[in-house]
Amino acid sequence: MNLLWIPLLPLLGTLVPLVTTRLSRSQSAALTAVLPAVALALVLQAIPDVFAGKSLVVAFNWVPQLGLSLSFHMDGLGLLFSLLILGIGLLVILYARYYLSAQDHMGRFYAYLILFMTAMLGIVLSNNLLQLWFFWELTSISSFLLISFWSNKTEARKGARMALTITGAGGLALLAGLILLGEVAGTYTLSEVLQRGDLIRASELYPAIMILVLLGAFTKSAQFPFHFWLPHAMAAPTPVSAYLHSATMVKAGVFLMARFYPVLAQSDLWFITVSLVGLSTLLVGAYTALFKHDLKGLLAYSTISHLGLITLLFGLNTQLAAIAAVFHIINHAVFKASLFMAAGIIDHESGSRDMRQLNGLWKYMPHTATLAMVAAASMAGVPLLNGFLSKEMLFAETLHQSTFGSLSWVIPIMATIAGALAVAYSVRFIHDVFFNGEPINLPKTPHEPPRYMKVPVEVLVVLCLLVGIVPEWSVGELLRAAAGAVVGQALPDYSLSVWHGFNLPLLMSGLAVAGGAWLYYNRGHLFSFQDQFIERDAKLEFERIVQRIVAAATRFTEWFDNGSLQRYAFALVVTALVFAGWPMLQLEEALGSRPEQPLNWAVIAAALILIIGTITTVVFSHRRLLALVLISIVGLIVSITFAYFSAPDLALTQLSVEVVTIILFLLALYFLPQHASLRDSPPQRIVRDLTVASLVGAVVGTLCYAIITRPFDSISSYFLENSKTLGGGTNVVNVILVDFRGYDTLGEIVVLGIAALGIFKLLAGMRLFVPSSDYRGRPWSADKHPMMLGMVSQSLLPLALLVSAYIFLRGHNLPGGGFIAGLITAIALIQQYVAHGVDWMKDRGASSYHGVIAAGLLIAVATGLGSWLFGRPFMTTWFDYFDWPVVGKFELASALLFDLGVYLTVIGATLLILANLGKLTTSERPKPGVSN
């Protein structure tokens, strides 16, 4: 079985709800569930292999030198989470069909939900550290879209921003931790990293790695003190809350701790940090949940508490703690999903989530009430339900730990108190909602929901009972497989029996139940005590902090961003000077061991011309046209330098780019003042700029001298040796561009096309005044398109196109190629614009170049994809030799098609920019007293 299909099928499934929006709601929901259901079937198919101890792996190399690969693997832990994500996800799809109103865009909701599912599957199945982080961030983005689904509500927008900010910041910390982890382990392949725990824990970077990874886990799983974002995520629709709290998002944090447990645990730093954070979260969440009047608010804080319980277990240094943590992950997912769905039904059918109004619902919706009470009893840890078993294991492990030495006795006491609080808020959930009198001022009369809206809750409640009554038969094998992946070694003996006799953990459970009942009975005193404290809205506090940061950033921006190009250039150059100059100070001598190359008069003359051209450009920069002519000399000398050092491709490219750039400058300068006074720059600024420029020149010159006088290893030998045999071309530069680094070239032309479209949109809205005279007041000639220029340009056009075709066709074996040929063609066509004007060219069909860019990109991409048809990697070049009549032996290469895509993209992008810049004309007159 190819594991790639498990995340890929849901990814493709994100398109299904978008294309089925015209169908009925039931049909759209059913079709949306098809691909996730197939993915779940593939996961079920893998169960026998995983239970047998095998790890299923699939990998595709991308950039192995950087540790990048597309790699998935499934072990017991990945299997467990895949089952939770897909199984509960399918139930949420069914539930959402009835929960969402007719006004909600169900297709968009399902698309976000399936994207969320894909991201979580990517996390739990990734076998590459960087790939895992990519999917980790994708969960933050997709959850942001889901939480803010009802974007018309301010609490949804603010809650989504808060969740994205906190989890995004944790994601950055995680990225740093994973990079350090990969470097210390010597590999970014997760399955290999997990086998090098001793090496990682022995590294001096271990504390930094552990803290950074835990920051990512704690922020995602809402651990104290990062817990405040989770309750405000309740602004999302209830199906999102059910999914987020049970199988996704917050579970990603505890999954991360479980996944890296074999590597990062087994140290005092881990046990103390994780257990303290877990215990704090367990108590804070349980205590706060007791006082919440909103159903989803109570369940949100109970989720925080149970996540703290799981984290605490991962922080206990006992043999069975990690096994108990994995077991509670399963149990919590089941009862919490059912509780949120039940809360959604109550809200949906009564119009309120306020527990002060929701009283006596048993008589109105007994079926839903029964399901909710069973799930709440499981959350409280009542015997014969799944929550009881993992709670018992928690109590047992707190008695066996020695994390805090002589103070370790505090942990079982705190765990018992947390258990009592859990019983108290669970009893409150049951009693206040379903009994406790009659409903108070509900918006509508409560009633049972549609039949199939209850099916997901029924399935989950049955699982609560099944695991609670026959745990070994129902989840024994799954727990052993998942826990084995977490522990990383042979599991110690343990029992999932419902009854272990009268022992201390059972006594602690009894105390928790009795204590919880007593707390609920005396809740009036507790509420009075809590009312003494001012309740702060975390959402408002967060927004206040954000606004302060924005205000500070605005003040800094207004100070720095004052419209002065000189200031921007100065800041950029000084920053570069500091970062480049500081390492140079550490270099004792610039001269290396390589001999210096001899000079000749041609080199000296070219260098002098380059220096003089540069200096005169600066001196005469106030004379725009003269400065443009002088800077073109600089470009010409650079082109000659490339040719001198045997780089004809670069020389041709530089020359072509130089011509296009000069035309661009001419068009741009036409709309700018023709003359700038030297008095605009005070003497002290000139001295400052001259000093900085001299320092930059000295540093860059020293750096270049140090590099060229030192030996270095180059990859050029590889390309020289394999250009002909692997790429079919003798022009190494072109073979690199279209074959060895073809993917880079594809990215570059995509960026070029996007930049051209962006510039086109910017130019489309501009209205510039066209000056009627030069800077001396002399009017422009009335003859805008001289006949002589038109005749010469038309005569040169066929020759230029012929040269372009020649340069294009020979590029694979001689200097040339699609980029240079595209620039030559663009220059030839620009020449027609200059000679005849925009309207003349438009009448001849040269008006829109969007299609040319699109055609170029499509051809380039299609050429790359064509490699897949023959089972070769993307962008692999095919070539062969043929004997043609008259022509003789001739080479054909698929790289020619890719080069054609480059050629068209360059033409389209260049002309789209320059032709539209040439159209920036208007008949507006300048205001009186305003200089041109």
- At 434-471, the pLDDT tens digits run 998 888 888 888 889 998 999 999 999 999 999 999 99
Considering only CA atoms, which of 140, 205, 198, 127 is closest in space to residue 172? 140
Reduce the DSSP state of residue 373 to 3 states and report it.
helix
For 129-186, the pLDDT digits (tens) are: 999 999 999 999 999 999 999 888 888 898 999 999 999 999 999 999 999 999 999 9
Q: Residue 415: enclosing H or E segment and its boundaries?
A: helix 410-434
384 pLDDT exceeds 50? yes
Mean local confidence (pLDDT), 467-493? 90
60 phi, psi to nearest 5 deg: -130, 120
Residue 155 CA to residue 143 CA, distance in Å, equals 15
- Identify each DSSP E strand in 724-824 by its residue range: none
Mean local confidence (pLDDT), 573-585? 84
Considering only CA atoms, which of 400, 410, 198 is closest in space to residue 313? 400
Kindly indicate the confidence band of residue 781, based on its pLDDT and cuts at 50, 70 and 90.
Answer: low
Q: Which DSSP category does 730 fall into?
A: S
Residue 588 CA to residue 584 CA, distance in Å, equals 8
Angle at 192 between CA 190 and CA 198, to 5 degrees: 110
Considering only CA atoms, which of 590, 413, 596 is closest in space to residue 504? 413
Percentage of the chain modeled with pLDDT above 70: 94
Helices (H), 439-497: 451-469, 471-487
The answer to whether 221 touches 245, Cβ cutoff 8 Å, is: no
Which value, to the nearest 10 degrees, does the dihedral of the CA atoms of residues 45, 51, 55, 58 take?
0
331 pLDDT exceeds 90? yes
Reduce the DSSP state of residue 741 to 3 states and report it.
coil
- Identify each DSSP E strand in 241-333 by its residue range: none
Mean local confidence (pLDDT), 219-244? 91
Which value, to the nearest 10 degrees, does the dihedral of the CA atoms of residues 604, 605, 611, 613 take?
-170
Residue with tokens 């989470």: 81
144 phi, psi to nearest 5 deg: -60, -45
For 681-714, the pLDDT digits (tens) are: 677 888 888 888 888 888 888 888 888 888 877 7
Kindly indicate the confidence band of residue 923, based on its pLDDT and cuts at 50, 70 and 90.
Answer: very low
Task: Specify the pLDDT at position 599.
Answer: 81
Lookup: tokens for 719: 């390309």
> Considering the entire predicted model, what is its pTM?
0.76
* Radius of gyration for the chain, computed over Cα atoms and rounded to the nearest angstrom: 35
The whole-chain average pLDDT of the chain stands at: 87
Mention every residue, 6+ apart, whose C-beta is less than 8 A from residue 808.
816, 817, 818, 821, 899, 900, 903
The answer to whether 932 touches 673, Cβ cutoff 8 Å, is: yes
Residue 634 CA to residue 654 CA, distance in Å, equals 11
Terminal Cα-to-Cα distance of the chain (whole angstroms)? 72
Task: Specify the pLDDT at position 904.
Answer: 93
Residue 414 CA to residue 807 CA, distance in Å, equals 79
Task: Specify the pLDDT at position 275.
Answer: 94
Per-domain residue ranges of the chain = 267-530, 605-670, 721-932
646 pLDDT exceeds 90? no
Q: What is the 3-state secondary structure (H, E, C) of 292-307?
A: CCEHHHHHHHHHHHHH
Bridge partners, 773 (sequence order)? 779
Which DSSP string do the residues of 765-822 spell out, in sequence order? Answer: T---PPPSB-TTSPBPPS-SS-HHHHHHHHHHHHHHHHHHHHHHHHTTTSS--HHHHH
Q: Which DSSP category does 489 fall into?
A: S
Considering only CA atoms, which of 252, 250, 254 is closest in space to residue 227? 250
Kindly indicate the confidence band of residue 127, based on its pLDDT and cuts at 50, 70 and 90.
Answer: very high
**Residue bearing the bigger pLDDT, 660 or 326:** 326
For 344-382, the pLDDT digits (tens) are: 999 999 989 999 888 889 999 999 999 999 999 999 999
Residue with tokens 């020649």: 806
**Residue bearing the bigger pLDDT, 807 or 623:** 807
Residue 854 CA to residue 389 CA, distance in Å, equals 61
532 pLDDT exceeds 60? yes
776 pLDDT exceeds 70? no
One-letter amino acid for residue 401 of the chain: Q
Question: How many other CB atoms are found less than 10 A from the CB of residue 60?
Answer: 10
Task: Specify the pLDDT at position 922.
Answer: 42
One-letter amino acid for residue 296 of the chain: K
Residue with tokens 């201390």: 504
